Amino acid sequence: MGIELTDRVALVTGGVQGIGLGIAEAFLDAGAKVAISDINGEGLKAKVRELQGRFGENVYGITADCSQEDDIVRMVAEAVGKFGVIDILVNNAGRGGMHYFWEMAAHEWDEVVDLNLRGAFLCTREVTKVMLEKGTKGKIINIASTNAILPTTGIAAYCASKGGLLMFTRVAAQELGPHGINVNAIGPGSTMTPITEGFYNLPIINAGFLERTPMGRFGQPEDIAKAALFLASEYADWVTGQILYVDGGQSLMGLPRYLEGLVQSAGG
Ligand SMILES: NC(=O)c1ccc[n+]([C@@H]2O[C@H](COP(=O)([O-])OP(=O)(O)OC[C@H]3O[C@@H](n4cnc5c(N)ncnc54)[C@H](O)[C@@H]3O)[C@@H](O)[C@H]2O)c1
């Protein structure tokens, strides 16, 4: 892409697979040093070993649960201990859960919100302290979702957490702008990852989603990584408090395309 992050230090949460891994690899390709954290310790060990074959000491793994305050404090301290600074934080670790809200136990709601919203707040808080202490003109990127604005039956906690993350992004951007720190969000649309592909490949789901995707295909982690690369780079120095939807146009489509077949084109 031509974007360079040479010697910039990034922390990417939930980076063993899917979108987080795509972002971590794109940053490494651009020359960054990347601390990858994940709750999946075994998976992380194997993935980091594999990546070290290509990127050497530029990649480092930290096992941490991003819904737990103690783990987050330790994770940030470990990343700083390894690389000295954190220039870029990507709050990517996230989870869903499918239920009508009236059938949802309080702990299920909490599990989603504790990771997607509270966890992102805590990671941002801890990394911000380091950035302020070291005077880092940093970049913080929150991985939200089209569900930050599109209500979707069956995933109330997820939608609420991502909507909350969007507003947190905007307030954090206001507070950190005077310190030269940018805070933005990416709103991925339906992206093929290990957690989603089984679901997205169900024939009825696949057709329904594609019908609402103007660009006519599902996303890949690399699609999201390109936007993260931009927001992490100097090209985004004057961009803050924004959400960049990377969704093939899904966020444009609230309702089915009911006009087609009913309205004749101007050409007759
Ligand atoms: N895939 C999509 O269609 C899509 C769409 C919109 C937004 N998103 C968002 O993108 C992000 C990544 O999604 P994905 O599809 O790549 O998911 P994924 O499940 O494939 O990967 C998530 C990673 O996070 C890790 N993780 C889970 N819980 C964790 C915790 N408590 N602490 C630390 N790490 C944890 C997992 O081990 C995994 O490696 C999430 O925030 C998700 O909400 C995904």
What is the model's pLDDT at position 253? 73
Question: Which atom of ligand 1 sits closest to the CA of residue 221?
Answer: 16
Which among 158, 200, 235, 245 is annotated as catalytic? 158
222 φψ region: left (φ > 0), alpha (ψ -120 to 50), beta (else): alpha
pLDDT in tens, 94-115: 999 999 999 999 999 999 999 9
- Name the one residue in this structure whose structure tokens are 């009911």: 258
pLDDT, tens digit, for every residue of 214-249?
999 999 999 999 999 999 999 999 999 999 999 999
- Does residue 186's CB lie within 6 angstroms of at least one atom of ligand 1? no
Asked if 158 is an active-site residue, the reply is yes
Confidence (pLDDT) at 257: 61
Nearest Cα residue to 96 out of 26, 14, 22 = 14
**How high is the mean pLDDT of the chain?**
95
Q: What is the DSSP letter of 186?
A: E
Q: Indicate whether residue 16 lines ligand 1 (CB < 6 A).
A: yes
Q: What is the pLDDT of residues 48-64, one digit of tens each?
A: 999 999 999 999 999 99
Of the candidates 248, 245, 175, the residue with the CA atom closest to the CA atom of residue 210:
248
Length of the chain as a residue count? 268
d(CA 228, CA 143): 9
Q: What pTM was computed for the model?
A: 0.96
256 pLDDT exceeds 70? no
264 pLDDT above the threshold of 70 = no
For 14-19, what is the mean pLDDT? 98
Per-domain residue ranges of the chain: 9-247
Give the pLDDT confidence of 135-177 residue by residue, as tens digits.
999 999 999 999 999 999 999 999 999 999 999 999 999 999 9
With a cut of 70, say whether residue 1 has pLDDT above it.
no
Query: How far lies 200's CA from each of 12, 43, 181, 189, in Å?
Result: 25, 23, 36, 12
242, 177 contact by CB (below 8 A): no
Q: Which CATH number fits domain 9-247: 3.90.870.10, 3.30.70.20, 3.40.50.300, 3.40.50.720?
A: 3.40.50.720
Predicted pLDDT of residue 138: 98
Strands (E), the chain: 9-13, 33-38, 59-63, 88-91, 139-143, 182-188, 243-246
